[in-house]
Amino acid sequence: MNFRVSCWALAGALLVALVALGACEQAFTTSPLSWLERDPDNLSKERQIRYAEAALRSGSERAARKAYDALSKNVDEKDDPELNLLLADLAMNAAGISEVLSELLTLALGDDTSLGNSGDLHDAFGAKLDVLNYDYVLAAKEQIEAAHAKDERFVAGEQSYLEISLGLVLRAAGIAGGFLVGPLSDLAEVEAGEAADFVDLATDRLDDRSGGWKYVGDFGAILS
């Protein structure tokens, strides 16, 4: 599979998705809660779930990591797939997705010429390759897959698919040495394939079980 990605096209697709899906609101919304300083490892499972939900609302990467690391130890194949989706969202927050999205959105809104300047966009995306914690990106992907393994009818929200897809694309690009217009190097072929396959599966699931998608398929077209 040839994996091609244009910085300008990727930026445009993601920023449209940001505004349409409300990710910008999530990226800039924080609700500091002092009790998030507590150690969730010492909480009951039910209270870990409440802690995890509060961590998501807070927008804190540190709280999201603590919540994911604690709750993921107590979720198994018997639990509702919605818990795996909660873990997937936590993992993406723990990976640093909010910082990536908010800074790119700021770039787009702060300078009308930025979206048309491929050099600016290349620099902006290139600077993000080392921001995300890719262990948590992969954990988010695994949690989505675990949810589907429990119930093939289960479908995550399109925003979750987009955020994980972005994380996988950045991971592949980072391994290849940065964004290129043209095929990524052989070094990133496996990672690039994983990203494209994830988007393809997301499109199929959204088509079959939730009445269709708005942006995931367009994002996938950029990767083909």
DSSP state letter for 22: T
Contact 88, 160 (CB under 8 A): yes
Which tokens in the block code for residue 144? 């989505």
Provide the pLDDT for residue 185.
Answer: 44
The predicted model scores a pTM of 0.79
d(CA 138, CA 35): 28
Which tokens in the block code for residue 49? 């779930």
DSSP state letter for 215: S
Provide the pLDDT for residue 65.
Answer: 95
- Count the Cβ atoms, other than its own, within 10 Å of residue 55: 28
| 10-residue stretch averages of pLDDT, the chain, 224 residues long | 51 55 51 66 93 90 94 94 95 88 63 54 68 92 93 83 84 68 52 80 75 62 58
Provide the pLDDT for residue 186.
Answer: 47
Provide the pLDDT for residue 71.
Answer: 96
